[in-house]
Amino acid sequence: MENRKKDILLHLYGEASEGADLHGLLKDPELRSEHAALSEAKFRLDHRSRKRPDASVIDGIFAATPGAVTEPGRRAGDRPARSRPTHLRKVLLPALSIAAAVLFGVAVGWFAAPSSPDKAPALSDGGGAPDLVPPETLYRFVPPTTNGIRPTGTLSWDDADELRQVYRRIESMQPKSSLSWDEPPVPLESLPVGRSGGILPAGSNR
């Protein structure tokens, strides 16, 4: 019943589907009285005078958004054609970009290099434990001298006393150890203990 009442409403407002039959619905007395009641209210509403805003209100819309509508041709037509790239834009700018990139690379390299060879990292600081230095840092960039060749013709780290000392210590330790890399592992206790060489107990003074 509710659906048929809604069908009557759709008929009243001209929105019923084509197959809907109003006459069939109105054979039912209840639906007929529903139709009469709805029609009466609709009739009153249909004959209601319509209201509109004051004309100044509409003018106010355009006054409030002057940029939006007062420029005829604002969106009209195509945009003007772009001018051909000039010589400056076509050749000079790419060349300048490349030159700037090269200069930047040189500047980065210059500032990344040590300011003097004396600041090159040492392999050890005398009697203490040797510093762990990545091997690539040993090959540091040395700023060229005026003629581009070092006076001695040798690398800065090759003639260091510290390097020679470390080398001698390794050489002297080598014969004292009976272990080699190929042998199976042995417990530490079986290794010789003492000042003559080999393993030193933890906490003992050298």
Q: Does 32 bind another protein (CB under 8 A)?
A: no
Q: Which pair of structure tokens corresponds to residue 8?
A: 């009557």
Alpha-carbon gap, residue 172 to 38, rounded angstroms: 116
**For tokens 């001298």, what's the residue?**
145
Alpha-carbon gap, residue 37 to 44, rounded angstroms: 11
CB of 6 vs another protein, minimal distance in Å: 4
Side-chain-facing half-sphere of 126: CA atoms under 13 Å? 1
Contacts of 5 (CB under 8 A, 6+ apart): 31, 34
Alpha-carbon gap, residue 67 to 78, rounded angstroms: 20
Neighbours of 91 (CB within 10 A): 11
Nearer to another protein, 73 or 203 (CB): 73
Nearer to another protein, 75 or 119 (CB): 75
Q: For residues 146 and 140, is the Cβ–Cβ distance under 8 A?
A: no
Q: For residues 10 and 2, is the Cβ–Cβ distance under 8 A?
A: no
Q: Does 40 bind another protein (CB under 8 A)?
A: yes
Nearer to another protein, 73 or 175 (CB): 73
The correct pick among 30, 32, 42, 179 for binding another protein (CB under 8 A) is: 42
The correct pick among 41, 98, 179, 193 for binding another protein (CB under 8 A) is: 41
CB of 106 vs another protein, minimal distance in Å: 49
For the window 9-28, what string marks contact with another protein as x by the rule CB under 8 A? xx--x-x-------------
Q: Does 51 bind another protein (CB under 8 A)?
A: yes
60-79 positions binding another protein, by CB under 8 A: 60-62, 64-65, 68-76
Query: Which residues lie near another protein (CB under 8 A)?
Result: 2, 5-6, 9-10, 13, 15, 37-38, 40-42, 44-46, 48-54, 57-58, 60-62, 64-65, 68-76
